[in-house]
Amino acid sequence: MFKINDNYQKLPGSYLFSTIVKKVREYQEANPEKNLIRLGIGDVTQPLAPAIIDALHGAVDEMGNAATFRGYAPDLGYEFLRNAIAENDYRARGCDISPDEIFVSDGAKSDSANIQEIFSVENKIAVCDPVYPVYVDSNVMAGRTGTYDPATEMWSDVIYMPCTKENNFVPEFPKTAPDMIYLCLPNNPTGTTLTKDQLQEWVDYANKVGAVILYDGAYEAYISEDNVAHTIYECEGARTCAIELKSFSKNAGFTGVRLGYTVVPKELKCGDVALHGMWARRHGTKFNGAPYIVQRAGEAVYSAAGKAQLKEQVAYYMKNAAAIKNGLQEAGYEVFGGVNAPYIWLKTPDQMTSWEFFDYLLATANVVGTPGSGFGPSGEGYFRLTAFGTYENTLAALERIKAM
């Protein structure tokens, strides 16, 4: 009789988004006349920019012509895309990352879930709390997290680094040194980030204790402040301790198109073994590349027209973010984030739990958000609103919240 990977049985149900859907459906059925505004979504809503659509059309035509048809992509991704990434995302920022250190993929969710498999199951992971759930769950599936305590909602072998208003959402160095440190900056769900100097301290710490940093930069395009690093490789010493994961989902609206990349610097080693070679082997064995058509669309993200159009798209969402942040502040809420990320993280009023505030907001303002406690125990008492809606809906939601 076959046996299953028992680690999957240890996963607690992730009820967050299904519970939200259920509660919203029940409310709408009971109140069919109410017009709900959804500011809970973590998905973009603006259509793909014209420069990207042009590139997609051009690549589709190439695929229909014997002279320009392409089959399997090269293992690391097409050179035209890796060159554009190295030039624009790294060299233009003074970072020494070469095209052959870039691995093109179908997105940052899969890379951030898969990257753990090149590390020992003995390693201890550290995550921020609250956190993007993929990092912990992928390590649960691999058997790296020990046992789950439903009372504390914590795993025995995971080091949690609380990020709350008390520490300004800056994680503190753990008491016991971790082996693998997940950092997502700017952060989902809190919308906050670290300064470059604070990130440098994490790079120094990782090099000192011999840890690897798995750096998720999915929201890099939303950075507006000068003292924030656009890539971890702006920090000195990052080439010996950091892997960077990037996505085209939030900067270019590729959530349904699918494209991302991972950077593994050649100096990043465990003893004599370079992680670059390990990830190359893993990529070559388990992945057959992002589609040619999509890699051409990714190249267009770095064209002059693409850059200009996407700057506008990001500005559109960030105008929403500013409207939410200012509107909530005027209404007396304590709010965080929204400056370098499309997320606003608010403190629930009157000691309400995250779910109590969810119900209150739904019933009173007919606005849907995301309870902070769904992202980890330290998210309790907080609530996430996203800037990915339309401007009109965002303003309408704020008027309703102000009237509560």
Return the number of the residue (70 or 258) whose C-beta is nearest ligand PLP: 258
Q: By rule CB under 6 A, what string of x and - marks binding of each residue 123-152 to ligand PLP?
A: ---------x--------------------
Return the number of the residue (107 or 327) whose C-beta is nearest ligand PLP: 107
Are 191 and 343 in contact by the 8 Å Cβ rule? The answer is yes
Residue 89 binding ligand PLP, by CB under 6 A: no
**Choices 140-148, 172-180, 222-230, 249-257; region in contact with ligand PLP by CB under 6 A:** 249-257
Q: How far is the CB of 259 from ligand PLP (least distance, A)?
A: 7
Return the number of the residue (345 or 401) whose C-beta is nearest ligand PLP: 345
Collect all residues with Cβ–Cβ distance below 8 Å to 365 and sequence separation of at least 6. Answer: 397, 400, 401, 403, 404
The angle formed by the CA atoms of residues 35, 40 and 44, to the nearest 5 degrees, is 100
**Choices 161-169, 199-207, 243-251, 314-322; region in contact with ligand PLP by CB under 6 A:** 243-251
Residue nearest to ligand PLP (CB): 107
Return the number of the residue (101 or 216) whose C-beta is nearest ligand PLP: 216
Instruction: Give the residue, chosen from 48, 52, 95, 108, that forms a contact with ligand PLP under the rule CB under 6 A.
Output: 108
Q: How far is the CB of 321 from ligand PLP (least distance, A)?
A: 15
Return the number of the residue (327 or 342) whose C-beta is nearest ligand PLP: 342
> In the window 40-69, what residues touch ligand PLP (CB under 6 A)?
42
Instruction: Give the residue, chosen from 97, 101, 103, 109, that forms a contact with ligand PLP under the rule CB under 6 A.
Output: 109
Among 129, 82, 122, smallest CA distance to 101 is for: 82
Instruction: Give the residue, chosen from 40, 77, 107, 186, that forms a contact with ligand PLP under the rule CB under 6 A.
Output: 107
> In the window 149-188, what residues touch ligand PLP (CB under 6 A)?
184, 188
Nearest-Å Rg of the Cα atoms of the chain is 21
Q: By rule CB under 6 A, what string of x and - marks binding of each residue 5-34 to ligand PLP?
A: ------------------------------
Single-letter amino acid code for the residue at 297:
A
Q: How far is the CB of 218 from ligand PLP (least distance, A)?
A: 4
Q: How far is the CB of 108 from ligand PLP (least distance, A)?
A: 4
Are 289 and 104 in contact by the 8 Å Cβ rule? The answer is yes
Instruction: Give the residue, chosen from 247, 309, 354, 373, that forms a contact with ligand PLP under the rule CB under 6 A.
Output: 247
What residues line the site for ligand PLP (CB under 6 A)?
42, 107-109, 132, 184, 188, 216, 218, 247, 249-250, 255, 260
